[in-house]
Structure 1
């Protein structure tokens, strides 16, 4: 699909979300370190879990609202809420007042608004892009995110620790501008029926909640999709550790060491500096190779791609916990990124393939549980290091990735059985 054929909604969002994501990655990777410094590792892990719990509920609610009230409306409202959350965050880190507790509240609110935004965002892509082009379009959006992953942590290493207040004020202004741009230049794409349905206007609020739960119950009965979510939650425990376990591990365990040496010139790095570099390595590789990797992955069965990705994640996370050598960590991140590239371009298209048109928002919201629940559970790794040590914690997470690979195999088998059954029914009807 050529750029000139892209819908204007996508063009506007690609650039707007690119800027927003750079700002996001200027503070997000450092929050685990921030909370661990102010509250201790045990409390920090608990707080990070709590901050994600509300996001799980918000994600499901966001998918329902995206189908009922429209994609655009939810996206605009989400960024208005994001803007006010950044104001609160800035106030808690200003030259006149500092509050880690208020920072935690603002950080949690940002997660909630993000959970409300993404189901509508993904459903909009599925609305306007033909099925044959969806994987590539999703891959380009993901590539833009990872350009932000390259730039954001490098800038964040400077601004988050030295100019945090100014960074958060800029994030507020940018969020306001983006919400206005979405309102003016983006059109609604949700099915007309979902936008104009009026007969429910007199129902009580709880009737909408009950209807939402009924809709998601229908989704859960889709066995293939349900296993896809469970497997995704397990494998998410690996890549969610980039800004959690890996950040704390490299800050506490990886010593200052020489990376390069030439005559009298040497380049040394601390664990914190090396962490920024391996994050940048991941973002750079994903930014460069996402589209190419997606084209290759499209040639294979989704089940096999998901299985190989999960297995590679497991090997990579175990390698992380087995070395403190910076070059060894760079190699582990290379494998980690390879696992990411295998699956990232096809997973959103796979969800669109399973979802009925009138339930895309809810299917994408349910699919996002892989990340929201995964992100909720992932901070357990931080207090787990106190109980069983860093190395064993990495091994446990690697084992979860291997279990995920087995679930993907089961998912593929059930998908094949459903396809055969469907073809058999069609032959009988003929």
Structure 2
């Protein structure tokens, strides 16, 4: 299957997601560095956790609305809120940098940072559900493999843009981000269709309907185990943007390469770019090499390499060692990611795709919260202890993911025999 054979919805979703992720990765990690340098790591960690809690709640509400109402409309309204928040964030940052720095401007900066995170998450369940609606069991794994490839390409572009323009052009990058989201909204309005949505029955009481909808998902034990396991595993990678980036900006051993000075911020960008380039150029190569092996074994091997690599990255401050372990982490990611995504979709009931997708945001919320907690703890404990915590929690996460997948396979086999 080739890109040209994908449905229009899938093509639009893949292309617009590329630009959305690119501008997000060109701004958000560097805002975290900016805040950490201005208010300290502890307060920045607290701000991130507040932002994540708000984002998770907005994702839950967005998922509920996307199963009840037209997903395209939920998507567009959410993006409208994100445009407002990005413009507010850029304006406040301009005032903070160019005009005046006082407690009110600083608080406004925090508020818009949190609002931007919340608004960008409220429409993601609708976005994800629209893709699920356009896939089937025969093309799902390939579509998600291609989505994974484009996601990592956007990471390389975003990291490169952010790393080289962060110090002088963060304000401009934020304004550009708002313009890009506006352009994407116009494209989605004109070309995105919502023809295959399965609607959930509406409740007269929105709070009762909301609780009932998610109670069903929370009672799905295998799904909850899968989500929490994923959270623990991904906390290793998310620590790169919420903990390791700040540590490298302060403790990195500066390297001079051909008269180019590589400091911690540039080093962080190089790591992200390396990860992405490996994925962009080797995704299909590695997938073709491993497809003859058992998928579950591939998942275990890939996850093991992944957590080993990111654990080492969370500890080292030497460029060569960081690069070696980023290669290891990236290879692990290439091995497990497409199968992990496909299994995630297989665990979700058709009529509750947006709600389950929203609840799956819990994995990102918990993972990023843990990564933010590592940032807070770094003020009080050593990097080696934090790395040990990262490895231990990630290993538990791998066990949870395997358990959930095996349980789902057993249930499917039992249903097939009945």
Superposition TM-score, scaled by structure 2 size = 0.91
Residue 328 (structure 1) shift:
0.5
Q: Residue 311 of structure 1 is aligned with which of 297, 304, 314?
A: 304
Other-structure match for 1:376: 369
User: Structure 2 stretches of 5 or more lacking a match?
Assistant: none
Q: Do structure 1's residue 134 and structure 2's residue 131 form an aligned pair?
A: no
Deviations 1:125-170 (A, max 9, x none): 1111222211221222232222221122222223332122222222
Cα 1:299–1:29 shift into 2, 3 Å: farther
Other-structure match for 1:120: 126
Question: Are the equivalent residues in 2 in contact too, given 1:45–1:379 (CA < 8 A)?
Answer: yes
Other-structure match for 2:380: 387
Q: Do structure 1's residue 249 and structure 2's residue 250 form an aligned pair?
A: no
Other-structure match for 1:218: 216
Cα 1:292–1:65 shift into 2, 3 Å: farther
Equivalent residue runs for 1:56-67 within 5 Å = 56-67=56-67
Q: How many residues align?
A: 412
Equivalents in 1 of 2:112, 2:28: separation in Å?
Answer: 12
Secondary structure of the corresponding residue to residue 380 of structure 2: helix
Other-structure match for 1:83: 83
Q: Do structure 1's residue 290 and structure 2's residue 283 form an aligned pair?
A: yes
Larger radius of gyration, structure 1 or 2? Answer: 1
Cα 1:218–1:336 shift into 2, 3 Å: same
Residue 322 (structure 1) shift:
4.4
User: Structure 1 stretches of 5 or more lacking a match?
Assistant: none
Secondary structure of the corresponding residue to residue 163 of structure 1: helix
Q: Do structure 1's residue 329 and structure 2's residue 327 form an aligned pair?
A: no
Residue 100 (structure 1) shift:
3.6
Q: Residue 355 of structure 1 is aligned with which of 345, 348, 351?
A: 348
Question: Are the equivalent residues in 2 in contact too, given 1:29–1:243 (CA < 8 A)?
Answer: yes
Equivalents in 2 of 1:297, 1:88: separation in Å?
Answer: 47
Q: Please say which of residues 124-133 and 342-351 is displaced more in the overlay.
A: 342-351
Deviations 1:302-355 (A, max 9, x none): 543443333223311332244332110001111121222223223332222122
Cα 1:122–1:255 shift into 2, 3 Å: same
Deviations 1:380-418 (A, max 9, x none): 001211222112101110111111122233224423432
Question: Are the equivalent residues in 1 in contact too, given 2:62–2:125 (CA < 8 A)?
Answer: yes
Other-structure match for 1:167: 173
Q: CA RMSD in A?
A: 2.2
Other-structure match for 1:101: 107
Superposition TM-score, scaled by structure 1 size = 0.89
Other-structure match for 1:110: 116
Question: Are the equivalent residues in 2 in contact too, given 1:234–1:404 (CA < 8 A)?
Answer: yes
